[in-house]
């Protein structure tokens, strides 16, 4: 992305959304200030990292499909540009995904999902279980159904976020290690107040991007009445294991599917580790023993060799959910853009969210699909002027 526009962009939030936004503003010729006390420590740290618009399709969430497809299309170029400014790895892989159903009921679930995916004009290939095991010999011989998605890619969120952060700093971004308490907005002036009480004045020609994930719900001052961003934490457990050298690579593709109707994913990494996940709940912000047990049991049911791996880590991340599971992405003032609420699609949608923020700030046309992400669609009050 290249324009002749220059200015100053203040990006609040140092997860993958905020970091990608910083990078895109720099590519557009802006000076950038990133405000975050501890970048890459929130939802990004606990994410799976699947760039999978096909496998991520959910029933009755058609508005998400064009967003996911567009962002996945943007990712290869974003990654290529980032690697021009850092030597750090991204963990980007294009091996694809294998979907499986563990038993007969899961096979029926998968069959219905395949039909739904095809109806959304997405590519998926039904496989026999023998074909699936030829692609991935470590798959259990007991699986009941399988399909392949070659267009679904992945990256390692922690690695890519660090690469983004390194690239952004190398290009001269200022990093302010604080939180933001308020954004004071009037028709002619804006100021960002930090937790220390210090203020950053924003000129009318500059832009502020509120990309603080769940933290965006705590930042006030730019609206009347109740907070317009109805964000809620949705927790997900993520496990990491290390594959013995004698078994590497255990799989090359991402393995996703259903075991007794429970979703599971198994993600191979370049460093010989595997990430396991797929839980989702709203009641406990810590790794739950029962969830860890279920994930390990189901992952081993699908890929039995995981039983031989070294257990490394169990973490639990809070993803910013919205009432309709669509992000809040849009311009709420001439120099204030909201980009948060990406729920479980934050990694995948980061490329689109970052590009859209620059397009909004520079008066360019955005994707029609972004119209469904209006930050004020759940608001009960008007903007504070």
Query: Domain check: are 36 and 102 in the same one?
Result: no
Who contacts 304 (Cβ-Cβ below 8 Å, separation ≥6)? 138, 140
The CA-atom distances, in angstroms, between 119 and each of 57, 110, 115, 124, 336 are: 11, 14, 6, 11, 37
CATH of the domain at 194: 3.50.50.60
Q: Judge whether residue 295 has pLDDT over 60.
A: yes
Nearest Cα to Cα of residue 309 among 250, 239, 242, 254: 242
The CA-atom distances, in angstroms, between 120 and each of 57, 74, 75, 207, 254 are: 9, 19, 21, 36, 21
Q: Judge whether residue 166 has pLDDT over 70.
A: yes
Query: Domain check: are 137 and 39 in the same one?
Result: no
Query: Domain check: are 339 and 352 in the same one?
Result: yes
Percent of all residues in the chain with a pLDDT value above 70, rounded to a whole number: 97
In a domain? residue 27: yes
Mean pLDDT of 185-207: 87
CATH of the domain at 300: 3.30.9.10
Query: Domain check: are 132 and 222 in the same one?
Result: no
pLDDT at 129: 97
Our measurement of the distance from residue 83's CA atom to the centroid of its chain's CA atoms, rounded to an integer in Å, reads 19
Query: Domain check: are 236 and 312 in the same one?
Result: yes
pLDDT at 1: 42
Q: Which of 320, 336, 352 is the last residue of a domain?
A: 320
pTM for the predicted model, two decimal places: 0.95
Angle, CA of 233, 343 and 115, to the nearest 5°: 130
Who wins on pLDDT, 359 or 188? Answer: 359
pLDDT at 382: 52
In a domain? residue 220: yes
Query: Domain check: are 254 and 111 in the same one?
Result: yes
Mean pLDDT of 270-275: 97
Query: Domain check: are 313 and 247 in the same one?
Result: yes
Query: Domain check: are 146 and 237 in the same one?
Result: yes
65's tokens = 């499909």
What whole-number distance in Å separates Cα of residue 33 and Cα of residue 13?
A: 10
Query: Domain check: are 182 and 256 in the same one?
Result: no
Query: Domain check: are 186 and 303 in the same one?
Result: no
pLDDT at 61: 80
Q: Which of 298, 320, 342 is the last residue of a domain?
A: 320
pLDDT at 302: 98
Strand partners, 200: 192
**Based on the structure, what is the number of domains in the chain?**
2
In a domain? residue 178: yes
What whole-number distance in Å separates Cα of residue 50 and Cα of residue 46?
A: 12
Range of the domain at 20: 7-52+158-231+323-373
Mean pLDDT of 85-104: 97
Mean pLDDT of 279-286: 86
In a domain? residue 379: no
**pLDDT category, 254, cuts 50, 70, 90?**
very high
pLDDT at 381: 60
In a domain? residue 65: no
Mean pLDDT of 88-102: 97
Per residue in 312-360, pLDDT (tens digit) is 999 999 999 999 999 999 999 889 999 999 999 999 999 999 999 999 9
Which range (89-103, 167-181, 281-295, 343-357) has the least confidence? 281-295
**pLDDT category, 2, cuts 50, 70, 90?**
very low
The beta-strand segments (E) located in the chain are 7-12, 30-35, 50-51, 97-101, 125-127, 145-149, 153-154, 174-176, 180-185, 190-194, 199-202, 207-210, 232-242, 254-259, 262-268, 273-277, 310-321, 328-333, 336-340
**pLDDT category, 187, cuts 50, 70, 90?**
low
In a domain? residue 86: no
Query: Domain check: are 137 and 237 in the same one?
Result: yes
The pairing of beta strand 190-194 with beta strand 180-185: antiparallel
pLDDT at 203: 86
Per residue in 49-86, pLDDT (tens digit) is 999 999 998 877 889 999 999 999 999 999 999 999 99
Q: Judge whether residue 385 has pLDDT over 60.
A: no
Q: Which of 275, 292, 320 is the last residue of a domain?
A: 320
What whole-number distance in Å separates Cα of residue 63 and Cα of residue 81?
A: 28
Our measurement of the distance from residue 256's CA atom to the centroid of its chain's CA atoms, rounded to an integer in Å, reads 17
Nearest Cα to Cα of residue 138 among 308, 260, 259: 308
Query: Domain check: are 135 and 189 in the same one?
Result: no
In a domain? residue 74: no
In a domain? residue 343: yes
**How does the average pLDDT of the chain come out, rounded?**
94
């Amino acid at each position: 992305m290249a324009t002749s526009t220059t200015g100053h962009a203040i990006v609040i939030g140092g997860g993958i959304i905020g970091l990608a936004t910083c990078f895109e503003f720099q590519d557009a010729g802006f000076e950038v200030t990133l405000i975050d006390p501890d970048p890459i420590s929130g939802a990004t740290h606990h994410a799976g990292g699947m760039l999978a618009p096909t496998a991520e399709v959910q029933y009755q969430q058609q508005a998400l499909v064009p967003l996911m497809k567009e962002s996945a299309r943007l990712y290869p170029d974003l990654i290529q540009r980032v690697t021009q400014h850092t030597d750090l790895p991204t963990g980007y892989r294009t091996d694809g995904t294998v979907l499986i159903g563990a038993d007969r009921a899961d096979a029926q679930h998968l069959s219905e999902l395949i039909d739904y995916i095809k109806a959304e004009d997405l590519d998926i290939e039904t496989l026999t279980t023998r074909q699936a095991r030829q692609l991935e010999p470590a798959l259990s011989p007991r699986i009941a159904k399988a399909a392949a998605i070659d267009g679904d890619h992945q990256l390692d969120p922690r690695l890519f976020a660090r690469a983004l952060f390194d690239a952004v700093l190398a290009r001269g971004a200022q990093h302010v290690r604080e939180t933001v308490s308020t954004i004071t907005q009037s028709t002619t002036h804006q100021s960002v107040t930090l937790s220390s009480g210090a203020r950053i004045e924003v000129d009318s020609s500059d832009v502020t991007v509120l990309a603080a994930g769940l933290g965006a719900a705590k930042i006030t001052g730019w609206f009347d009445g109740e907070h317009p961003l109805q964000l809620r934490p949705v927790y997900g457990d993520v496990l990491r294991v290390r594959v013995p050298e004698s078994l590497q690579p255990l799989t090359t593709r991402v393995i996703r599917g259903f075991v007794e109707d429970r979703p599971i994913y198994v993600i191979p990494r370049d460093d010989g580790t595997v990430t396991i996940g797929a839980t989702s709940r709203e009641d406990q912000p810590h790794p739950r023993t029962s969830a860890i047990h279920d994930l390990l049991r189901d992952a081993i049911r699908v890929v039995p060799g995981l039983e031989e791996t070294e257990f490394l880590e169990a973490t639990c991340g809070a993803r910013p959910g919205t009432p309709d599971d669509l992000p809040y992405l849009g311009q709420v003032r001439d120099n204030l853009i909201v980009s948060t609420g990406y729920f479980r699609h934050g990694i995948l949608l980061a490329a689109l969210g970052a590009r859209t923020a620059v397009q909004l700030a520079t008066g360019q046309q955005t994707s029609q699909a972004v119209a469904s992400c209006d930050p004020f669609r759940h608001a009960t009050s008007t903007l504070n002027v």
